[in-house]
Structures are given as C-alpha cells and as structure tokens.
Amino acid sequence: MAKIKYYYDTETCQYQEVKTSLADTVSLVLVFLVVSFVMALGLAVGYNALFPSDEYVELAKEKQLLEKNYTKFDGELSYLNKVLAAIQERDDYLYRGYFDSEPLPKTIREGGTGGTDKYRNLPKHEIISLTAQKIDAVKRRIYIQAKSLDEIVKLAQSHSERAASIPGIVPVPEATKRFVSGFGMRMHPIYRIFKFHSGCDFSAPIGTPVYATGDGVIAAAQPHAGYGNQVTIDHGFGFVSTYSHLSKFDCKEGQKVKRGQLIGRVGSTGVSVSPHLHYEIHRNGTQINPIQYFYDDLNPNEYEELLDVASRNRPSMGN
C-alpha cells in the first residue's frame, strides 16, 4: 500500500494530504530518464576512450593516414602549380615574345573545369572532394599548356621557313666590289633625266652567276620589257625579288629554289648600257631598298662600304 504524504498548512494550522498530479509524475519520470541517458552516454564515451573497439581504432588510423596523405598531396599539387606557373610565364613572355605572338588570354589559362556537379558521386568527405577539384584544375592547366606548346612548335616551324625565305643575301659574288647604284632617285643613263631607281645595280661581266637571295618559287623567268630577261621569285610571307638584264636563265617557272641557288647569269638585255644585274625586293606589293636585307653574308665593314657607295647617288645602269 502506497504511503500517504502530508504537509503542514500554516494558514489552517493543520496537516494536509499531498496530492500528486499526473503531469508531475510524468515530469519526474522524464527527468529520471534524461539523467539516466546522459549518465549512460558519459559512461559509454569514457569506456570507449579507455577501451576503444578494434573498429574504432582502425577508423582512427585511417583518418590519420588520410589527413597525412592529404597534406603530402596538397604540397605536391602546390609545387606542380608553381612549376606550371613558371612554364606559362616563359610561354607567354619568352617563347611567344620571340615569335611576336600575343600571350594566351587569362580567360583561357584560367578556364573552368565544368562546375561542381561532377563531384556529387564522390564520397561526401570534404578532403577527397577538395583534392579532386585541385587535381582537375591542374589537369586543365596542363592540357592548355600542352596545346600552347603545340602552337609554339608551329610558330617555330613557320619562323624557320620565314627566316630562310626572306631575301637576305647579295645576289652576286663580290657584291661590295660590283655595287654601282642604289635605291632612290638617280640619273637615268639613257634618258638623261632623274628617275626613281627601284632597286640596286651590280656591274659584272656577262655570265657572272646570279643567286636566289631566299627560298621560294620561280614565279616567272622570261623577257620583261625594258628589264630584259628577268627572273621573279615569290618567297612567300609577302616577299618577292626580281633579277633583271640576265643573259641566261638557269631556272624555270614553277621551280622551287633555295637561298644561294644559281638561277641565271649576268647580261645586258633590255634597257641597259653595260652588263649588270638590276635587283629589286618587293614586300607586300611595295618596292623597298634591297640594302636593308644584305645582312646574312656581309660583315659590318662590308655593309658600311655598301651604304657609302649607295649614298653617292651614282647614275643607274639602265631600267
């Protein structure tokens, strides 16, 4: 039989029976259960801390190893990014600068990797997801750099072809001794008037070899009005050279020639007062001073001597 509890009522000066409501009973039970749960949880945590299970120990080791490897991988990725940055800098400002090409835009260099949706199927571990994103970023930069280097290889090949194609040597042997008249206004030897002289004249005996001054294709090898027998070479890259007053052709139209290859012989055909070679260079359709391109086989002293002769305004030897 349950005990009846009383309390003393000071107002009535009598003992009154203590009556417990259902709500009070429920509250007491809930408090007891909560306290019991907290104590049990504390005991469980303490026990696991003092006596961890094999599974817990393995998980702890795996977590520690994962964090250690992440630190290692993160350091290696940082190093790779620094190496890539150095390569990209050389790419933009050394290699492309040498070939007169603009650096790759940052929008291409720093292009995205396709958003974060692709990481949804990965484990929800933050470290794994972050590492995967960093690796994708490095792969993207490596891919872009590889494509850029492919382009630089093409630029180098084109540059090599261009360097060989530019008419950069003198067209006759012993040019400094044979140079007679330069580019510009000159007295015409036949018409006796000042007339624009669109090339350089080299005086030489008939039959003196004439050489191609750059790689190219023979665009024409035939008589050409006052220029007599004339060879025209299309060098590509906007350059064309002509060789006039020849006595003989040693090439034919459509033939590919290399710099220094024999293409004809000095003569006095067309409007000419004596055997000589009239040599011209055209760039993008404009006649330019050939002396500017006599740099591949003349030393500085010979080049200065050539410039000195050209400055004397000697009459030309024909058209």
Residues 233 and 212 in one domain: yes
Residues 231 and 264 in one domain: yes
Q: Which amino acid is residue 34, in one-letter code?
A: V
Residues 181 and 137 in one domain: no
- What pLDDT does 277 receive? 95
- Asked whether residue 255 is domain-assigned, the answer is yes
Question: Dihedral of CA 49/51/55/61: which sign?
Answer: positive
Residues 96 and 201 in one domain: no
Q: What is the largest CA-CA distance in the chain?
A: 155
**Statement: residue 123 has pLDDT above 60:** no
Residues 143 and 192 in one domain: no
d(CA 236, CA 224): 22
DSSP bridge partners of 232 = 220, 242
d(CA 236, CA 240): 7
Question: Dihedral of CA 198/199/203/208: which sign?
Answer: negative
Domain final position from 165, 191, 210: 165
d(CA 104, CA 266): 50
More confident residue, 38 or 119: 38
**Statement: residue 119 has pLDDT above 70:** no
Residues 45 and 93 in one domain: no
Q: Which of the residue ranges 14-28, 108-122, 135-149, 159-173 would you say has the lowest mean pLDDT?
A: 108-122
Residues 203 and 257 in one domain: yes
Residues 71 and 27 in one domain: no
d(CA 241, CA 277): 13
- What pLDDT does 247 receive? 96
Model confidence band, residue 197 (pLDDT cutoffs 50, 70, 90): confident
Question: Which among 288, 285, 200 has a CA at the least distance from the CA of 244?
Answer: 200
More confident residue, 276 or 161: 276
- Asked whether residue 318 is domain-assigned, the answer is no
- Asked whether residue 278 is domain-assigned, the answer is yes
Check: CB of residue 143 under 8 Å from CB of residue 136.
no
β-strand pairing of 209-211 with 14-17:
unpaired
Q: Which amino acid is residue 277, in one-letter code?
A: L
**Statement: residue 183 has pLDDT above 80:** yes
pLDDT per position as a tens digit, 265-312: 999 999 888 899 999 999 999 998 898 888 667 777 888 888 787 777
- How many structural domains are present in the chain? 3
Q: Note down the domain range covering 161.
A: 64-165
Q: Average pLDDT, stretch 212-232? A: 94
- Asked whether residue 148 is domain-assigned, the answer is yes
Residues 121 and 34 in one domain: no
DSSP bridge partners of 201 = 181, 278
- Asked whether residue 105 is domain-assigned, the answer is yes
Check: CB of residue 262 under 8 Å from CB of residue 209.
yes
The total number of residues shown for the chain amounts to 319
User: What is the domain-level CATH number for residue 186?
Assistant: 2.70.70.10
- Asked whether residue 257 is domain-assigned, the answer is yes
Residues 275 and 201 in one domain: yes
Q: Average pLDDT, stretch 178-188? A: 79
- What pLDDT does 127 receive? 65
- What pLDDT does 116 receive? 47
- Asked whether residue 57 is domain-assigned, the answer is no
Domain final position from 109, 137, 165: 165
Residues 45 and 78 in one domain: no
Query: Residue written as tokens 């015409």?
Result: 188
Return the axis-axis angle of helices 126-165 and 54-90, rounded to nearest 10°. 20
Residues 112 and 182 in one domain: no
- What pLDDT does 90 receive? 75
- Asked whether residue 56 is domain-assigned, the answer is no
Domain final position from 165, 189, 205: 165
